[in-house]
Amino acid sequence: MSEMPFELKDRSVVSDRLKAKRVVLITGAGASRGLGADKPMPLMPDWAGILSHDIDESNPGISEVLGIREGISGEEFEENLGKFLQWQQSFPLNDRFKRFGGVSIAGAPSPPVEEWLRNNKTRAAEVGEALQRSLYSNFGLQAVDRSKAIEAYRRLDRVLGGEDTQKICATTNYDPCVEVGFGGFGYRIVDGFDRSQPFQTPVFEPSDLGNWRKYSPDTLPILHLHGAVGWYRQRNGSVISCTRPLTARSSPSSCSRRRAEQGPSAHRHQGPQLDSSRPPALGYTCRARIRRGHGRTIMGACLARRGLARRVSRPS
C-alpha cells in the first residue's frame, strides 16, 4: 500500500485548524478512487462509458438517445442522467392525458400513442435495472477494498487528531468507503437510518446528523449529500435503505423481514437490487444543517466532482 488517497503534506495547516477540536470532513469521488477492490473506483466520466454499455445490452442505441456515452464530461453525464430521471416522473401524467393528443378527443387513444407509452415504460424499466446493476457493481460494498479503506481513513484520522477531534463527514459519493474505513477501526457510524428495530424498514431522517452536541467523539455522522447505493425513494417521498434485491412485488417491509431472518452480516452483503419501480434515490439533496456553534470547521479530503444535486432536486 505505497499509495494512499490521503497524504497531507502540510500538516501544520491542518493542526492550526484543529484547536476547536471539531472538523467537517468533505469527500468527493477522488477520495474513493484508490480504494476499489479490483480496480480504481470510477469517476463520473468513467462511469458514463461503463453505464452506456450496460444500458445498450437490452436495447442497442438507448444510451445515445439518453446522451449517456463514453467520453462525455462528468457534468454532462450527470445532467443527461438527471433529465432522464425527471422525465420518468411524467409517465403517469402521460397516461392520464393520452387521449388529449389523439385524432379525436372523443375516441380511444390511437394505437401509435398506446405503443409509445408502452415502449417508454418497458425501456425505462430496462434502463433502471441496468442503472442499479451498474451502481452496485461499481460503487457497492463489494467494490470497496476493506483493508485499503481502513488504512486510508486510519491515517487521515491520526492527522485529524483521532477521537480527540469530533468529526462529521459529508460526501457526494454513492459508495460506502467512509463507512467501511472509519467503521473498520472502531468508529460508530451514524447515517440517518435507524436500524435498531429488526422488523422495521430503515427510513432516512437526517435532521440531527449535523448536531455536534448529540454525538460523542467516537461516533461519526455521515451525510451522503447525493444519495447512496441501497437508498430507495418511495412514492410518499421518503427514502428507505434496503441492500437486498427488491422486486416490483416487494413491499418495503420485506427488507426488514429479510434482515431479521439472515442477520445483519448477510443483509449487508446482498447483491444488486433490480426494481425499476423503486428507483435509487440519486440526486437526493440532504438538507441537514451542520450547526457550527463553537469553534471552526475545515474541509478535509476533498473534492473531486460536482454532484447530481446541482440539477436534480429529488427524482422519484
194-207: pLDDT as tens digits:
888 877 888 888 88
* The three cell numbers locating residue 232: 430507495
Instruction: Please tell me the predicted confidence (pLDDT) of residue 226.
Output: 84
Banded model confidence at residue 290, pLDDT cuts 50, 70, 90: very low
Amino acid identity for residue 90 in this structure? S
Instruction: Please tell me the predicted confidence (pLDDT) of residue 143.
Output: 94
Instruction: Please tell me the predicted confidence (pLDDT) of residue 157.
Output: 95
Instruction: Please tell me the predicted confidence (pLDDT) of residue 196.
Output: 82
Residue 105 predicted with pLDDT over 60: yes
Residue 96 predicted with pLDDT over 80: yes
Per DSSP bridges, beta strands 219-224 and 188-190 are parallel
* Contacts for 59-67: CB closer than 8 Å, 24+ residues apart: 59/123, 59/126, 62/123, 62/126, 62/127, 66/127
Q: By C-alpha distance, which of 173, 191, 159 is closest to 302?
A: 173
Mean pLDDT computed over 76-101: 90
- SS3 call for 193: strand
* Rounded (10°) angle between helices 111-139 and 44-56: 130
Instruction: Please tell me the predicted confidence (pLDDT) of residue 312.
Output: 27
Lowest-confidence segment of 78-82, 226-230, 308-312 by average pLDDT: 308-312
Which residues have a Cβ under 8 Å from the Cβ of 21 and sit 6 or more positions away?
161, 164, 165, 166, 295
Q: What are the start-end ranges of the H helices in 233-307?
A: 253-268
- Round to whole Å and give the CA distance between 170 and 185: 19
Instruction: Measure Cα distances from 239 to 25, 92, 285 in Å.
Output: 24, 21, 11
- Residue 230, sorted as left (phi over 0), alpha (psi -120 to 50) or beta, turns out to be left
- Mean pLDDT, the chain, whole residue set: 75
- Span between the terminal Cα atoms of the chain, in Å: 41
Reported as a single tens digit per residue, the pLDDT across 118-174 is 999 999 999 988 988 898 899 999 999 999 999 999 999 999 999 999 999 999 999
